[in-house]
Structure 1
Amino acid sequence: MTGTPTIGIDLGTTNSAIAHAEGGNIDILPNVTGDRTTPSVVAFDSRAEKALVGKQATNQAVNHPKRTVFSVKRYMGSDQTILIGGRNYEFTPEELSGIILKKLKQDAEAYLGQTIESAVITVPAYFNDRQRQATKHAGALAGFDADRIINEPTAACLAYGLQTARDKTVLVYDLGGGTFDSSLIEIDSGIFEVVATNGDTQLGGDDWDMAIVEWLEERIEREHGISIEGTLAAEERIFDAAQQAKHDLSTRQTATITIPFLEFEGDTYDIEATLRRDTFERMTRDLLDKTINLCEALFEEAGYSERSIDEILLVGGATRMPQIKKRITEYFDREPSKRINPDEAVAIGAAAQAAIINHEILPASTPGGTTAPTANTERTPATQTVNNTVLLDVAPQSLGVGLIDLENNEPYYHVIIERNTPIPVRNSYMTTTAQDSQTEIEIPVYQGDSDRLEENELLDEFELGPLPKRPEGVANIEVKFMLDENGILNVSARDVDHEIGDEIEIQSVFGFTDKELSIMQQNLPEIQ
């Protein structure tokens, strides 16, 4: 048991949720308004000194679109900053996500009457190293340690596994507001082993919303002769109407869209339109096809077939659209599971993982069984267990270095850790100098799955040196890769033959130092 509550957080693109594990129970914690999820929306006052989060932020978006931020999760891990109030104030994605997490933390502390010092936070399975580092930093800005970064499909499957005693092969189809993940997970005697994962961090329910927005804007231009592109207040009202139409079409065959007094260049327009479900599904068929194609690629890589899947688990609010269930049912010739709430499964699974880490009791229906399989020589010890429950996840993307082919002087990508390798994992490779008396060696670290070096993402680049002067090819340089249970990479390099045994450890260049995070935390706007 720990002195701080055992907490799991689903930091979502559209909505976020927080769950608490205690005494064998896992509960979703309501926010101050009594809702079980909180919109991942941040709004600021005119001087960006105070912030609103959730429904309050959403409600003021039409009047202050330049001071309201949606879907910040899509920018995590990037160098992009978000400008507030025109170009007056600038925030990083980590700061905005930190504000959302801080609000969740405050509401949960008020509900529990306890201080939260740590939590397990979920991310899309296909998040890369930078995006995972950014999520950990957002947690630090919110005022707590991220005990673990866990993949959303894995968390959802764990939540599902708490309610079944059967061993199964599960496909987690996770379509959130901004991201899509598909993961194959084997449940065997309490061991949750991720076999493989695939996904797209730029594909989600927001894209279905935008399809309706584009349909509406084309209709408005055709019927009223105006193009509202770039008119933020009008665009915000159209986006809200499009999102409501998508929700309506989940339970109805038609949606009536009404936008009275839409302001544009000093005039007002009354917008009315009717959108049929079958029209909407035709408009977005290519988006749905992308998710199925990613699932098919997942099966091919893992050596599985659709017939080898025992159950399909739908996760994420966007899976409530009828076309998702219909297409999945047709593809697998069976209906997906309705066992868990798609909006809450990820947070519940995150809290279960927090319980495992903190040696808390899990719900009694957790499947029992044998201990974890023995790790091979290339693996570090497995995750902690409680009630015979073990999580074994995989690397979402390959990791390696950029090297030069000395025969043709062409750069190439040398993979050190293959994607879908179980984590935590460590591996190494040996390299040497390319010139006589070379005193430094450059080591560029990449992430990606393309054969072409330039199509992969450069995570970091560093120099090892000074090295003793030796003839070309004599030096023995060992580069080690360590991918931890959070999916975060650490790289070290050393001159094996050097008497001192130099070793340099690096982190992604994207990361912030503790001092930088402390300053950012102090400067965060006050949450109202």
Structure 2
Amino acid sequence: MTENFSPIIGIDLGTSNSAVAWFAEGETKLITGAQEERLTPSVVGIDDEGHLLVGATAKARLVSHPHLTVASFKRYMGTGKTFTLGERQFRAEELSALILRKLKADAEVALGCAVTRAVITVPAYFNDSQRKAVKAAGQLAGLEVERLLNEPTAAALAYGLADSREQKFLIFDLGGGTFDVSIVDMFEGVIEVRASSGDAWLGGDDFTDAIRQWMVTHSPDLSIDEPQLSAELTLLAEKLKYQLSTQDIAKGHFTYQSQNICWELTNETFSEACSGLLSRLKKPVVQALQDAQFDVSQLDHVILVGGATRMPLVRQLVTRMFSRFPRNELNPDEVVALGAGVQAGLIAEDRALDDIVLTDVMPYSLGIEVARRDGNKIEDGYFTPLIERNAFVPVSVVQTFSTLNDNQRKIDISVYQGEARRVSDNLLLDSMSINIPPRKAGDVSVDVRFTYTLDGILEVECKVIGETTTSTMIVEKAPGTLSQEEIIERLKLLDGLKQHPRDVPANRQLLAEAAKRYEQTLGERRQIIDNYLVQLEQALNHQDLRAIAMARDELRQVLDQFDDGM
């Protein structure tokens, strides 16, 4: 790699697992971690000494140390909810940042250079606050987020690159915590997302919880109020769910207060326990088809994305809905990361992607609050959309509004996101006031323009007709998201977290470099590298910082000497 090389990586920040990829040599490649793992569990914890644990090591302690471990926090991005981890409180953005830092470090080891730029995927139905929270997490992780990419759109990119013929398909993306549907039209190298819908509170975790509730219902003596017991039952419920992916009956055993409790769960019983969840899967599909003005018969393929689509009852539901078997030849756990890697290649203007064009849509409507006159009565609180859901982005729309009161001196512009008629049922993003000349009702009109960019930034322009000045507002600070000052403050706190020495990027980078050099050499040189590697590994295991520094310097000197032709 050259010194000026600055790769862009693609990251799937998932509820259950996360992954990182980059585009090279005409294809997307997943980047593996220190143990050659392709997926990183989205779990964060601390050990008994207060060292930070991320990924598989944290997941291994979910049951044994639930008070020191946190999982399934992605749903709460942008909500302000906090999670207790030891003696500290963390927001979902901070926990996500720790996952992103781990993926960033893996990429730096694999690529042999610093990584500061990334494409990060988000559920298509994430609202504005949640999307800004993902950007904040990227910033906390030391990444410049080049683009937020909708997860089903990422999957479409991965499949589009693998199969470039003209076709129309529906992406059915059921992950650990969210559900998305996108209708995609692909022709002549153009991948056009026609419509997206979804449910940001529906995923594989809910199916696991349905099994856990069924277990408790059939064993009333169990109390899920105990954190340790709840964690153990959740783990067992997850195992039962996995069993049903490959067999007709799942069996579980559990010892509680000297009692041996047994469960037998069939796919039929599982389907009954999840009937409400299965019904919720249908609504976004119908909505997306309606918005895209597509009929089921026009679809060439239905593509399954997300680990939760491995459940037979989900595949059966999809098969019945579309009267065809869905496609899933690309690993449903990895396809979103692969697509993120393609998007990273597009941004980097990789020549292999010269013929690929991607268009995406707004998954929700954006508008303002308006008032209506009914006789002598004026009633406010109504929502008027300017950019309607599933409009192609980037997009710029203008509408004209007039005053309702005589001698009105200002107009309040309140920006909302949602689909409801009343603003009280939508999400307030920001507001501004503009001064206007006092005249009779209806004599003053204002042009309100919404411009939404690919980067997820909404610009609101207001211009009083007949005047020369324009008032502008950039909607960046959404409710529940961190301000720039808060990000800086929390970045300092995250930097203060203890890391196990073996997880320090500089140590991991040197170990990876030495291991690669070991593979390249033979004879005495190979033995020398191995000896110094063993010394560093032992020092890391004992967490003796002085011994680590000494062993690291000695190994560095050996590798440099070999470079000089020793």
Q: TM-score, normalised by structure 1?
A: 0.88
Instruction: State the SS of the aligned residue for 1:206.
Output: helix
Q: Which residue of 2 aligns with 1:479?
A: 448
Distance 1:148 1:474, change over 3 A: same
Residues 53, 527 of structure 1: 8 Å contact kept: no
Q: Which residue of 2 aligns with 1:145?
A: 144
Instruction: State the SS of the aligned residue for 2:284.
Output: helix
Residues 174, 182 of structure 1: 8 Å contact kept: yes
> Deviation per CA, 1:136-180, whole angstroms, max 9, x where unpaired?
111111101110001111110110011113110010000000111
Q: Which residue of 1 aligns with 2:555?
A: none
Aligned mates of 1:135, 1:449 — CA distance in 2: 23
The 5 A counterparts of 1:269-280 are 269-280=259-270
Residues 103, 527 of structure 1: 8 Å contact kept: no
Distance 1:440 1:342, change over 3 A: same
Q: Which residue of 2 aligns with 1:29?
A: 31
Aligned mates of 1:506, 1:294 — CA distance in 2: 27
Q: Which residue of 2 aligns with 1:20?
A: 22
The ranges of structure 1 where at least 4 consecutive aligned residues each deviate by more than 6 angstroms after the TM superposition are: none
Aligned mates of 2:478, 2:165 — CA distance in 1: 44
Structure 2 residue identity aligned to 1:483: Y
Distance 1:479 1:500, change over 3 A: closer
TM-superposed CA distance for 1:409, in Å, is: 1.5
TM-superposed CA distance for 1:255, in Å, is: 1.6
2:57 matches 1:66: no
Distance 1:471 1:213, change over 3 A: same
Aligned mates of 1:132, 1:506 — CA distance in 2: 12
Instruction: State the SS of the aligned residue for 1:336.
Output: coil
Q: Which residue of 2 aligns with 1:231?
A: 226
Q: Which residue of 2 aligns with 1:254?
A: 249
Aligned mates of 2:461, 2:45 — CA distance in 1: 41
TM-superposed CA distance for 1:63, in Å, is: 2.7
Comparing 439-448 with 504-513, which one deviates more in the overlay? 504-513
Aligned mates of 1:523, 1:93 — CA distance in 2: 14
The structure number with the bigger radius of gyration is: 2
What's the % identity of the aligned pairs? 38
Aligned mates of 2:468, 2:300 — CA distance in 1: 57
Aligned mates of 2:483, 2:290 — CA distance in 1: 41
Q: Which residue of 2 aligns with 1:381?
A: none
Aligned mates of 2:47, 2:407 — CA distance in 1: 60
Residues 154, 194 of structure 1: 8 Å contact kept: yes
Q: Of 330, 335, 352, which aligns to 2:342?
A: 352
2:358 matches 1:391: yes
Q: State the superposition RMSD in angstroms.
A: 2.1
Aligned mates of 2:234, 2:31 — CA distance in 1: 29
Q: Which residue of 2 aligns with 1:328?
A: 318
Residues 495, 502 of structure 1: 8 Å contact kept: no
Distance 1:197 1:509, change over 3 A: closer
Aligned mates of 2:368, 2:442 — CA distance in 1: 18
2:408 matches 1:425: no
Aligned mates of 1:500, 1:302 — CA distance in 2: 39
Q: Which residue of 2 aligns with 1:383?
A: none
Q: Of 449, 454, 457, which aligns to 2:424?
A: 454
Q: TM-score, normalised by structure 2?
A: 0.82
Aligned mates of 2:88, 2:168 — CA distance in 1: 49
> Deviation per CA, 1:394-440, whole angstroms, max 9, x where unpaired?
11011100111133312211110011111110112223444455443
Q: Of 308, 315, 333, which aligns to 1:318?
A: 308
2:298 matches 1:339: no
Aligned mates of 1:302, 1:99 — CA distance in 2: 37
Distance 1:279 1:3, change over 3 A: same
Comparing 511-520 with 8-17, which one deviates more in the overlay? 511-520
Q: Which residue of 1 aligns with 2:99?
A: 100
2:410 matches 1:440: yes
Q: Which residue of 1 aligns with 2:177?
A: 178
Q: Which residue of 2 aligns with 1:505?
A: 474
> Deviation per CA, 1:276-307, whole angstroms, max 9, x where unpaired?
22221222233223212321232223221111
Aligned mates of 1:274, 1:145 — CA distance in 2: 49
Q: Which residue of 2 aligns with 1:373?
A: none
Residues 468, 498 of structure 1: 8 Å contact kept: no
Q: Which residue of 1 aligns with 2:277?
A: 287
Extract unaligned runs of 5+ from structure 1: 363-385
Structure 2 residue identity aligned to 1:90: Q
Q: Which residue of 1 aligns with 2:528?
A: none
Q: Which residue of 2 aligns with 1:78?
A: 79
TM-superposed CA distance for 1:453, in Å, is: 2.8
Instruction: State the SS of the aligned residue for 1:195.
Output: strand
TM-superposed CA distance for 1:497, in Å, is: 4.2
Structure 1 residue identity aligned to 2:276: D
Structure 2 residue identity aligned to 1:107: D
> Deviation per CA, 1:67-102, whole angstroms, max 9, x where unpaired?
2211111111213222334xx422211111111111
Instruction: State the SS of the aligned residue for 1:203.
Output: coil
Comparing 248-257 with 9-18, which one deviates more in the overlay? 248-257
TM-superposed CA distance for 1:12, in Å, is: 0.5
Residues 401, 414 of structure 1: 8 Å contact kept: yes
TM-superposed CA distance for 1:193, in Å, is: 0.5
Aligned mates of 1:424, 1:136 — CA distance in 2: 18
Residues 74, 201 of structure 1: 8 Å contact kept: yes
> Deviation per CA, 1:241-264, whole angstroms, max 9, x where unpaired?
10111111101112221234x4xx
Q: Of 237, 244, 247, which aligns to 2:239?
A: 244
2:390 matches 1:400: no
Aligned mates of 1:527, 1:413 — CA distance in 2: 49
Aligned mates of 2:330, 2:149 — CA distance in 1: 19
Structure 2 residue identity aligned to 1:391: L
More helix per residue: 2
Q: Which residue of 2 aligns with 1:43?
A: 45
Instruction: State the SS of the aligned residue for 2:474.
Output: strand
Instruction: State the SS of the aligned residue for 2:252.
Output: strand
Structure 1 residue identity aligned to 2:148: I
Aligned mates of 2:154, 2:77 — CA distance in 1: 20
Q: Which residue of 2 aligns with 1:190?
A: 189
Instruction: State the SS of the aligned residue for 2:219.
Output: helix
Extract unaligned runs of 5+ from structure 2: 501-566
Residues 118, 146 of structure 1: 8 Å contact kept: yes
Residues 462, 470 of structure 2: 8 Å contact kept: no
2:128 matches 1:159: no
Aligned mates of 1:452, 1:504 — CA distance in 2: 23
The 5 A counterparts of 1:196-211 are 196-211=195-210
Q: Which has the higher contact order (CA 8 A, sep 6+)?
A: 1
Q: Which residue of 2 aligns with 1:413?
A: 383
Residues 291, 390 of structure 2: 8 Å contact kept: no
> Deviation per CA, 1:437-467, whole angstroms, max 9, x where unpaired?
54432111111112233222222222234x4
Structure 1 residue identity aligned to 2:490: M
Instruction: State the SS of the aligned residue for 1:409.
Output: strand
> Deviation per CA, 1:39-89, whole angstroms, max 9, x where unpaired?
111113579x6421111111112232122211111111213222334xx42
Residues 124, 180 of structure 2: 8 Å contact kept: yes
Aligned mates of 1:425, 1:319 — CA distance in 2: 33
Instruction: State the SS of the aligned residue for 1:220.
Output: coil
Aligned mates of 1:443, 1:214 — CA distance in 2: 46
> Deviation per CA, 1:183-209, whole angstroms, max 9, x where unpaired?
100001110111111110001101110
Structure 2 residue identity aligned to 1:18: V
Aligned mates of 2:160, 2:439 — CA distance in 1: 57
